[in-house]
Amino acid sequence: MGAYILRRLLLMIPTLVGIMAINFVIIQFAPGGPVERVIAQLQGTDVSATSRISGGGSDMLGGGNDTSGGSGGATADSASSKYRGAQGLDPEFIKELEAQFGFDKPPLERFLKMLGDYARFDFGESYFRDIKIIDLIAEKLPVSISLGLWMTLISYAVSIPLGIRKAVSDGSRFDVWTSGVIVVAYAIPGFLFAVLLIVLFAGGSFWDIFPLRGLVSDNWEQLSWPARIADYFWHLALPLTAMALSAFATTTLLTKNSFLDEIRKQYVITARAKGLTESQVLYGHVFRNAMLIVVAGFPGAFISSFFAGSLLIETIFSLDGLGLLSFESVINRDYAVVFATLYIFSLMGLLVNLISDLTYTWIDPRIDFESREV
């Protein structure tokens, strides 16, 4: 098993390089960029997501305003030939902007430097925020961890027992009405349900029971530990409910169908013929085999809820997490943050997939990855 884990870890290197390379190439051909954003701010036409320019960027903006007045028609044409909206700006100011963002170097050199820095987990600083990216991510991480981890755990804790019960009582009244509830819940968009929860329970039009924003209260530091825990889950109640509404469907139906498939196999009939109780058959034989396909879906469910699935929920409930950070970074053309979060997301996805494979062997020791060719 040690050799298999080592091979998988080594394979992560070319996979990460490939992911970063593809996205780096796409960015080179994407319209706009951090230089264009600064120019748009000078021209008063910036419509990016709310963020502030760092101290160095603000100084450059001031210098740009001072020097643009003396620019001639030739210099303006030269600047505008490369960047949209650069008419009237001094070419030297444009060069300073390019140097600030690292665009004065060839793309290949910039890409190799980025890979070298990321290998040491040195992500540099945000283009438009006066903060290191690693500190920025650490600041947003608790929100995304809270949403993703608890949503996944709650989803699996409810879906697996429910799926087993539905498989055992397949075709019964319980199976029919729970399937109807699950399908309806799956069809309701999470963000619309989040708005409904706010209207009903967060002081919208009816009851003011739950808080509307933030992960903890303002006086959280002054609370006792039991009160802190209660306050934490009090703030998470509505966001988790909105996110988990549609998460039960896939895992529940997957668990049910997997158990139904195993229950109908010959070894189950043989086990019953030997006099084993239904509980011994179900949890001693069927569970281990049926749960393999459920475990296989865990990485995708976790990564989806941890990153992508929480964007709208974070926005609606004013939770400043990684999903919102990534979205704002793309809108603001803060490529330093975009690539750093992409790198971290990809690395965590690969590691979670490895953990999933190792969980296979824990559930069913008959599976031997060591003897397979990677």
Domain definitions of the chain by residue range: 141-363
Percent of the chain beyond pLDDT 90? 7
Please write the tens of the pLDDT for every residue from 65-111.
343 334 444 444 444 446 665 565 667 777 777 777 777 788 898 89
The answer to whether 299 and 349 are in contact (CB under 8 A) is yes
20 has pLDDT over 50: yes
How many Cβ atoms are within 10 Å of 215's Cβ, its own excluded?
Answer: 20
Tokens of 315: 């926005």
What's the full length of the chain, in residues? 374
Average pLDDT over residues 291-317: 71
pLDDT at 49: 54
Amino acid at site 276? L
Closest CA to 39 of 68, 18, 13, 69: 68
Query: Of the segments 11-25, 60-74, 79-93, 295-309, which one has the largest average pLDDT value?
Result: 11-25
Q: Looking at residue 89, what DSSP letter applies?
A: -
* Residue 321 in this model has a pLDDT that exceeds 90: no
pLDDT 10s digits, 175-202: 999 999 988 888 888 888 888 888 888 8
What is the CATH architecture assignment of 141-363? Answer: Orthogonal Bundle (1.10)
Work out the pLDDT band at 15, boundaries 50, 70, 90: very high
Please state, rounded to an integer, the average pLDDT across all residues of the chain. Answer: 78
The pLDDT value recorded for residue 19 is 92
Q: What average pLDDT does this structure show over 239-259?
A: 84
Under a CB-based contact definition with an 8 Å cutoff, are residues 321 and 329 in contact?
no
